[in-house]
Amino acid sequence: MTLALSDARSIVHAVHTQEASAREVTGKALRAMGTVEPRLRAFLCAFEAEALRAADLVDARVEAGERPALAGVPVAIKDNICLGPDLMKVGDGRGYGGATTAGSRILRGYRSPFTATAAQRLIDAGAIVLGKTNLDEFGMGSSTEHSAFGVTRNPWDTSRVPGGSSGGSAAAVAAGVCPISLGSDTGGSIRQPAAHCGVVGLKPTYGRVSRLGLVAYASSLDQVGPIAANVADAALCLRVIAGHDAGDATSAREPVPDYEESLRGACDGLVIGVPGQARSSANDPELTDAFEASLHVLRGLGAEVVSVDMPMLDHAIAAYYVLAPAEASSNLARYDGVRYGQRAGLSAGEGLRDLYERSRSEGFGDEVKRRIMLGTYALSGGYYDHYYATATRVRGLLRDAFGRALATCGVIATPATPGPAFPIGGKTADPLAMYLEDVYTVGVNLAGLPAVSVPMGMARRDAKPLPLGLQLIGAPFQEASLLRVAAMFERARGPLGHGPEVRAT
C-alpha cells in the first residue's frame, strides 16, 4: 500500500491492522533518508540495521495482539538526547548505541551508558529510531550552524538555515523522512526551527517531560518536546513521552491527559491575548501580514482577540542571555578532558591545568566558549548581584506578568520568529543579531510555560516560499487546551499550498 511518512496516526493504523508492516515502513523511511540526506545533512548518524531489527520486534508484538501507541512510526532523536548500548537486545544482542555528541568535538566518541527517559518511552511505544540529528553545539544557537559536524540546510531552500538548535530534527520532519522527531528547547530551540521548516513544534511545560538523559545546557530552562508534521501527531507523541519520572527531580507529578481526545472542541468564548511586542516594527513585513491574517482566522473560529500589556517582555532577551550562559558555565565545567570526552595531548613538563585548558579550547566551538565566558563573568565576584541576581528578579517578574495575562486570556499569541529563515552565514558574524532570533521564544522558557509553533503562512525570498510560524502560549500544564487551539487553527488555515524544495517521495 502507499503510505505517507508524514502522518504518524496513519502509520500506526496500518501497522495495527497489518495493512503494512513496521519493517516496510522503516525500509521506506530509510530510503527517504538516503534520498534527502546528501542535500540536508540533518542526521549525524543512522541506525539502519538496528532500525530494521527494531521494526521486526514491533511486528512480532503486533502479531501477538499488542497495540503499541506508536507502532512502526519512524522517529529521529536530537543528538543531545542519550541512547544507551542496551536499548534493545534483539538478534545479535546489539542495541542502538551510537555516540551522543551534542554537536561538539569535546564529546566525540562518547557513548552513553543509559537511554534518556523520553527516548525510551518512544521505543517502548513501538517507535523506530532512524538516527540522531544535528544541532547547534550543546543547543547553543538558532541556526544549526554551530555544530562541530557541519551545517544542516533548510528543506524549503538549501541556501538557508533550518533554525536551531533542533534544526536537524525539524529538517528531517519537513523533508518527509519521519513524521515525528524529538528536540530540546532552552530558549526556542524546538519552536524556532519548526517555524522555519513549516512543521509543528511543541515546548511542554517545564517538568512535563523528563529531562533524564538530556545533555544539560541550562538546567532550569531545558525541556524535551516533539517536532511533528501536524498538531495531532505532536499530541500523540506528547502523550507517550509525558509523565512523572522518578529519575528526574524536576519531573512533575501532574496527570497526563489524553491529548489526542482534547483536540476535539471549539474556540467559542476563548480569549486570545496579543502583546504589543508581537506587532513590532522590526518584524518582517510578510510575517506581520501573516500574523494579522492568523488572528483573523482565530476570530472566525469564535475567539476574541484582545491586546495585553506585558512590558516585562522587553527584558526577556537580556535576562535569558545572563541566566542561560550562567547555567551553561556551571554545567559545562564537567567537560575537562579527564572523566570522558576529548582529551588533549600534553608535552613534557605540562600539567593538569594545561590538560584542562587545551582540552576545552580544542573541544568547544566559538559560540560555546562565548557563552561560557559570559556566564562565568556574570557569576564572578563583584558582578553576581549586578547581573545574575538582577536577571533572576526579572525572571520572577516575567513569570508574574505571564500569570496575570493568562488569568484573563486562555492563550497568548505572538509570531514564533521575527521573520523567515535567513541565509546560511547571514548572522554568524553578529551574535546579537542571532540572539534576537529568539526574541519571541525565550520568555516562555524563563516562565516555564508550554508553547507551540504552528505554520501560519509563507514569505517569499528569491521566488522561493519560506514558512512562517504562529506561536501560541498557554498556562502551566495546559498543553491540551493549547493543542486544541492549534489543531483548530491548522484545520481552518488549510494547506500552505507549497512544498519544500527537498522532500522524499
Q: Hey, which residues are catalytic here?
A: 78, 165, 189
In whole angstroms, what is the distance from residue 130 CA to residue 140 CA?
A: 24
Partners of 469 in the β-ladder: 455
State CA 169 to chain mean position distance.
Answer: 7
Taking CA atoms, 44 is separated from 58, 100, 208, in Å, by 25, 10, 28
Strand order in the sheet with 180-184: 43-46, 128-133, 74-78, 180-184, 224-228, 200-203, 451-461, 464-473, 411-415, 271-275, 304-308
Partners of 226 in the β-ladder: 182
In whole angstroms, what is the distance from residue 357 CA to residue 424 CA?
A: 31
User: Dihedral (C-alpha) 407, 410, 414, 416: value to the nearest 10 degrees?
Assistant: 110
Per the CB < 8 A criterion, the answer to whether 364 and 129 are in contact is no
The 3-state DSSP composition of the chain as helix, strand, coil percent (nearest 5) reads: 40, 15, 45
User: Dihedral (C-alpha) 84, 85, 87, 91: value to the nearest 10 degrees?
Assistant: 160
In whole angstroms, what is the distance from residue 292 CA to residue 91 CA?
A: 55
In whole angstroms, what is the distance from residue 201 CA to residue 180 CA?
A: 10
In whole angstroms, what is the distance from residue 364 CA to residue 295 CA?
A: 43
Q: Among candidates 162, 180, 193, 168, which has minimal Cα distance to 123?
A: 180
CB within 8 A of 292, min separation 6: which ones? none
Question: How does DSSP assign 451-474, residue by residue?
Answer: EEEEEEEEEEETTEEEEEEEEEE-
Number of C-beta neighbours around residue 426 at 10 A: 16
Sign of CA dihedral 83, 86, 90, 91: positive
Taking CA atoms, 319 is separated from 389, 392, 395, 427, in Å, by 10, 7, 7, 21
CB within 8 A of 249, min separation 6: which ones? none
Q: Among candidates 281, 203, 198, 227, which has minimal Cα distance to 457?
A: 198
